[in-house]
A and B are shown apart, each in its own frame.
Chain A
Amino acid sequence: MNSNKILPVENERQLSPSEKKGLATYWWKILSIVLLLFTIIAGFLFPVPAQPILHETIRNLYFHVPMWFSMMTILFVSVWHSIKHLSQSNIESDIVASQAAHTGMLVGFLGLITGSLWARYTWGAWWVADTKLNGAAITMLIYLAYFVLRGSIDEEQKRARIAAVYNIFAFVMLIVFLLILPRMNDSLHPGNGGNPGFNKYDLDSTMRVVFYPAVAGWILLTVWIFTLRVRLEKLKRKILFND
């Protein structure tokens, strides 16, 4: 700040646009940190409704559920860029699509772990035969297959195109599956199969205060990880082509 005053006017003019750009691009990262700090502190300290089986595990709602929201968001980004790749044949879209899928797997894996822990303490087992768990498992399988597919094609343009086709095809089938799933069986999850949803009375106003910021915070963090991965991948390519 002090140096700005001493420096000549030209330098100040050069600095200010980059600073402005910095704030304009970084605000959501700061917001993400603030929201997540709030989520963690408030999530563990704020009062929660006392429910018979759930007890204090209800706090997992702030961590488990936003993971799936983040995963679907980032997978949607992935498919969107796959479509973009097919229409423009731009290799950058392919990098973005694949890194988004990687990030989606990371959050999905975290969602599985938190869900598994929760299931252990409420339903009594690490894994139960439940439609939503099947859906999660199939999502994992589809995207692992996507990575295997990417790994088995050497030529870059061809890999990008074919992976994009599979990504779109698989994502649509996944959405169809997630739509028909509730018709097939009941679920142990809240809001399905006669179980009361969190909306009804569990997620009362004290929990909403934490839950919505948690969802926003986790989604922002996921997007942040994703942008870092994309930057890293682009830098790797740059090094590869310069050497």
Chain B
Amino acid sequence: MRNKYSLGGILLYVVSTVFVSYLSFKKIVSPSTWNALFWIILLFASINAIAKSFLSETRGKLLYLYTIVSPEAVILSKIIYNSLLLSILSALCLLVYSVFVGSLVQDFPLFLLTLFLGSCGFSSLLTMVSAIASKTSNNFTLMAILSFPIMIPLLMVLIKLSKNAIDGLEHWDLNFLLILVFINTIIVALSYLLFRYLWRD
């Protein structure tokens, strides 16, 4: 996705979604609503951002990549690129969201850490699902259908952790952080192992 317009499109998507939720909610006082809305916005933004990573690749470019590098290199580089993209996107989302809707976060380091780990997890999972969906005929619909059920475990841990960050608990819940890192590792490892079977056509 080395395309200025699509990058700009995603940024605009985040800003306008946040603005729409600002207009409909005005001010949010309940931490759980704030949290849920934030992650839902981020979820849809990341699906839109990462769906492009395989769906909009031309056949010729994939064939070109196929001849020069290994499938493992392709998936890992896509995951790394998407993680960076999504980290920036989520930081921006947080900024815009805090400006419009207001910030309730008390423990900022934990929230940012959760956001970063979440971005990495989302991007690696969605990159793989995008690779699967790109092989089908109606791929944009399938992208959502395939990714939602398997994203739920990740999302639940993220919501739990960010809720802790919002409430500003005294001790960091290391258990959940470890689970998050563990899930990310598993997703990346599975993508690394399985991508070669999607690759050859």
Interface on A for B, CB 8 Å cutoff? 86, 138, 141-142, 145, 148-149, 152-154, 158, 161-162, 164-166, 168-170, 172-174, 176-177, 180, 183-184
Is the CB–CB distance between A152 and B137 below 8 Å? yes
Q: How far is the CA of A184 from the CA of B145 in the complex (A)?
A: 24
Q: Which residues of A contact B183 (CB under 8 A)?
A: 176, 180
Q: How far is the CA of A165 from the CA of B134 in the complex (A)?
A: 13
10 A-B residue pairs with CB within 8 Å: A141-B148, A145-B145, A154-B137, A162-B135, A168-B190, A169-B150, A170-B149, A176-B153, A183-B176, A184-B157
Q: How far is the CA of A170 from the CA of B192 in the complex (A)?
A: 15
Determine which of B138, B190, B201 lies in contact with A172 in the assembled complex, contact meaning CB atoms within 8 Å.
Answer: B190
Interface on B for A, CB 8 Å cutoff? 128, 132, 135-138, 142, 145-146, 148-150, 152-153, 156-157, 160, 175-176, 179, 182-183, 186-187, 190, 194, 197-198, 201
Task: Taking A86-B197, A173-B187, A177-B152 as given, write out 16 further A-B residue pairs in contact, using a Cβ cutoff of 8 Å, ordered by the A residue number.
Answer: A145-B146, A149-B132, A149-B145, A152-B137, A153-B135, A158-B201, A162-B132, A162-B135, A162-B136, A165-B197, A166-B132, A169-B132, A170-B149, A170-B150, A172-B190, A183-B176
Is the CB–CB distance between B137 and A172 below 8 Å? no
A-B contact count (CB 8 A): 75
B137 shortest CB reach to chain A, Å: 5
Determine which of A148, A154, A165, A173 lies in contact with B153 in the assembled complex, contact meaning CB atoms within 8 Å.
Answer: A173
Is the CB–CB distance between B149 and A162 below 8 Å? no
Give the nearest-CB partner of B193 in chain A. A168
Q: Which residues of A contact B197 (CB under 8 A)?
A: 86, 161, 164-165
The secondary-structure label for the interface of chain B is helix
Determine which of B175, B186, B194 lies in contact with A183 in the assembled complex, contact meaning CB atoms within 8 Å.
Answer: B175
Q: Which residues of B contact A177 (CB under 8 A)?
A: 152-153
Q: How far is the CA of A165 from the CA of B132 in the complex (A)?
A: 8
Q: Which residues of A contact B153 (CB under 8 A)?
A: 173, 176-177, 180
Determine which of B145, B176, B187, B198 lies in contact with A148 in the assembled complex, contact meaning CB atoms within 8 Å.
Answer: B145
Is the CB–CB distance between B137 and A153 below 8 Å? yes
Q: Which residues of B contact A152 (CB under 8 A)?
A: 136-138, 142
Is the CB–CB distance between B152 and A166 below 8 Å? no
Q: Which residues of A contact B132 (CB under 8 A)?
A: 149, 162, 165-166, 169
